[in-house]
Amino acid sequence: MQSNPYSILNNIMKNKKHLLSSRAIARGLGIGCLLAGATSVANAALIAYEDFDYAGGTNLTTTTDNNGTGWDAAWATTGVSGLTTSGSGSSLYFDQSPDLISDGSTHVWSESSKGNERDFTGVIDLASETLYFSALVRAYGDGANEADLRFGFFDGAGASGNNRANVGITNGTLFAAASTDGYGAGDTAAGAFVDDTTYLLVMKRTGSAIRASLITADGNASSIAAEPGVWQVNQAGATGVDLTSVRFLTNGDGDGGLRVDELRIAMDWDSAVSGLILVPEPSSYALMGGLLALGAVMVRRRK
């Protein structure tokens, strides 16, 4: 949840002796990001976005909330128990410590066979367009070795018709398949996924191939400034279908689990990672300088 930047500035003024301390400067930079156009998920090439901002413990099969952006309707059943959001307002983010942040939103977690499907309003024509997909993922309690997840993209509503992109993780192995359903299908990279580490799972599907990688969430904008030069898994597979729906499935034996958050479907790389890290635009620095100058004036007036 974003705080009121003017309230933050006022709090800094109340502690004016710390105005130029590293903490105050850092908070000032945060104000600049909030006020001056930090990167937003509202991109023209962004097809759909889901931050799982639901009430704690929500079952995605039973809720009628059409949360996020770019979706036809709420998540729907896909034949197994519905995925469930976390019991408290905490989220994954593109960094490691702490493992979760308390922001009032939630995330999805699973230790067993669960799943849902959802239609997105935009259509991605693989004959001429590219599908990019990203999601934050993290395993806990030996979940990397015992739990699985996969995302399948279909050319029919309700995750029906042809599956022309299948990406996921099974027992620590990353996989991606151009047209084959199931866990571990297609090209694989063993040992790519370990416990207690947050990753950004990214996938690229063109009309000729599918590629995927796991990027360690290190908090650095440079880590996601461009798509991977070398993808961890690749498989050829020609297609020209219109993708319109996604199926999200998990599996496990209850001894360990997975957390998933910040799901994006887009037609370019920038939109697939937009909003994961708030980076000030050049104009933001001028505003931040103005804010700090304003703070100095307020200090003088109080003396």
Q: Are residues 9 and 72 in the same domain?
A: no
Q: What integer is the mean pLDDT of 270-294?
A: 67
The predicted structure's pLDDT at residue 287: 53
Residue 237 lies in a domain: yes
Residue 40 lies in a domain: no
Q: Are residues 108 and 235 in the same domain?
A: yes
The predicted structure's pLDDT at residue 105: 94
Range of the domain at 18: 5-35+282-302
Report the alpha-carbon distance of residue 169 to residue 173 in Å, rounded.
Answer: 5
Report the alpha-carbon distance of residue 133 to residue 229 in Å, rounded.
Answer: 16
The angle at the Cα of 280, spanning 276 to 282, to the nearest 5 degrees, equals: 145
Res 42 pLDDT > 70: no
Cα–Cα nearest to 169, from 250, 97, 92, 113: 250
Q: Are residues 12 and 74 in the same domain?
A: no
- Is there a contact between 283 and 135 (Cβ–Cβ < 8 Å)? no
The average confidence (pLDDT) of the chain is 85
Q: Are residues 256 and 151 in the same domain?
A: yes
Of residues 92 and 300, which shows the higher confidence score?
92
Assign residue 255 the CATH number of its domain: 2.60.120.560
| Tally of CA atoms within 13 A in the half-sphere of 247 that contains its CB | 26
Question: Tokens in use for 184?
Answer: 């571990």
Q: Are residues 224 and 296 in the same domain?
A: no
Paired strand residues for 266: 46, 132
Place of tokens 């958050």: 261
SS3 161: strand
What HEC string does 192-203 produce? Answer: CCCECCEEEEEE
Report the alpha-carbon distance of residue 48 to residue 122 in Å, rounded.
Answer: 8
Q: What integer is the mean pLDDT of 204-231?
A: 98
Cα–Cα nearest to 184, from 201, 165, 171, 193: 171
Q: Are residues 51 and 23 in the same domain?
A: no
Residue 50 lies in a domain: yes
- Is-cis flag, bond preceding 98, omega within 30? yes
Say how many residues make up the chain.
303
Q: Are residues 122 and 215 in the same domain?
A: yes
Q: What integer is the mean pLDDT of 35-64?
A: 81
First CA to last CA distance, the chain: 34
Range in 34-38, 52-56, 142-146, 244-248 with the lowest mean pLDDT = 34-38
The predicted structure's pLDDT at residue 303: 53
Question: Tokens in use for 273?
Answer: 């990672």
Paired strand residues for 159: none
- Is there a contact between 224 and 86 (Cβ–Cβ < 8 Å)? no
Residue 267 lies in a domain: yes
H helices of 221-281, where? 269-273
Q: Are residues 67 and 195 in the same domain?
A: yes
Contacts of 204 (CB under 8 A, 6+ apart): 130, 131, 132, 133, 210, 211, 212, 227, 231, 269
Report the alpha-carbon distance of residue 171 to residue 192 in Å, rounded.
Answer: 10
**pLDDT band for position 297 (50/70/90)?**
low
Residue 9 lies in a domain: yes
Q: List b or e across 225-238, with b for residues whose CB sees 16 or more CB atoms inside 10 angstroms.
A: eebeeebbbbbebe
pLDDT tens track for 234-269: 999 999 999 999 999 999 998 899 999 999 999 999
Q: Are residues 75 and 194 in the same domain?
A: yes
A 10 A CB-CB count for 18 gives 13
**pLDDT band for position 20 (50/70/90)?**
very low
**What percent of the chain is modeled with pLDDT above 90?**
75
Q: Are residues 152 and 191 in the same domain?
A: yes
Domain count along the chain: 2
Helix axes of 22-35 and 282-302: crossing angle, nearest 10 degrees:
130
183 phi, psi to nearest 5 deg: -75, 140
Residue 122 lies in a domain: yes
Q: Are residues 123 and 188 in the same domain?
A: yes
The predicted structure's pLDDT at residue 126: 98
Residue 143 lies in a domain: yes
Res 106 pLDDT > 50: yes
Q: What integer is the mean pLDDT of 64-80?
A: 97
Q: Are residues 197 and 82 in the same domain?
A: yes
Residue 99 lies in a domain: yes
Q: What is Dmax (Cα atoms) for the chain?
A: 71
**What percent of the chain is modeled with pLDDT above 70?**
77
Question: Tokens in use for 226?
Answer: 């461009």
